[in-house]
Amino acid sequence: MTEIDDKLLTQFFDEQKQNIADNGFSTRVMRGLPNRSSKLYSIIVSFVAVLSVILFFVFDGIHAILSTLREVFVTVVQNSAANIDLRTLAIAGAVLLFYGVRKIYTME
């Protein structure tokens, strides 16, 4: 858009501006939303996090991750992809690690 179009749009919307009475609607809506800072919410999130860690170790999650990585490595080697670029692999690993950590921190 050009500067003239921007000025025309601004002028049009300034002329058409209307104030609508709220009558407490916004306040009622905000009161009706769930309170995420409640103690019950924090307790549930903490309980689920601890339960997840416990289940990870009970079902031998480390072994599952290592065996999956081993299978991927063996498959790559068997399919004659031994000349894979290590920089590309390192970048892909760093990106996956970044997204994993970011996902964990945004779950709160």
pLDDT in tens, 43-65: 888 999 999 999 998 988 889 88
Using one digit for the tens of pLDDT, what is the confidence trace for 25-36?
888 888 888 766
Confidence of residue 88 (pLDDT cuts 50, 70, 90): confident
Confidence of residue 82 (pLDDT cuts 50, 70, 90): low
- For the cut 60, the answer to whether the pLDDT of residue 87 exceeds it is yes
pTM (2 decimals)? 0.39
Contact, 84 vs 76, CB < 8 A?
A: yes
Alpha helix (H) ranges present in the chain? Answer: 3-15, 25-32, 39-58, 61-78, 86-105
- Indicate the DSSP class of residue 83: T
Segments making up each domain of the chain, as ranges: 3-105
